[in-house]
Amino acid sequence: MKDVGATESYDLELKREEEELHAEAKGTMSDDSQVILTRAEVEWQRKSAPDNALVIVHSIELDRTVEPATATGGVLHCTSPWTIEDETLTVISYIHRTGL
């Protein structure tokens, strides 16, 4: 397993012999009913399917009374292969070019 999140449009590269899996990892304090994805993440995962995965750790507890804040708990959920259907996506922002 290799953390490639700083250089790629996905977070983890997992290899076993000739098999390779590209995984997007998300952590949230809420349930796992929704996560925020970038356009690049969606495009890469669609390109990588079926050799891809969505890994969510949800229901994380965050203690902000200490410095740095500490995360504990959480429930792991993994979907692989991960198929991203258009009806499961909601646009949450746009860039408007003003022409100025």
The predicted-structure confidence for 19-54, as pLDDT tens digits, reads as follows 999 999 999 999 989 999 999 999 999 999 999 999
In a domain, 93, yes or no: no
Residue type at position 45 = Q
In a domain, 8, yes or no: yes
Q: Dump pLDDT digits (tens) for 57-99.
A: 999 999 999 999 999 999 999 999 999 999 999 999 999 999 9
- pLDDT value for 37: 96
3-state DSSP helix/strand/coil % of the chain, to nearest 5: 15, 40, 50
Name the phi and psi angles at 88, rounded to 5.
-95, 0
Question: Which structural domain, as residue segments, surrounds residue 49?
Answer: 2-88
In a domain, 56, yes or no: yes
User: Across-strand partners of 69?
Assistant: none
Tally of structural domains, the chain: 1
User: CA neighbours within 13 Å on the CB side: how many for 69?
Assistant: 6
Residue of 82, 34, 87, 24 whose CA lies nearest to 58: 34
Q: What is the pTM of this model?
A: 0.86
In a domain, 97, yes or no: no
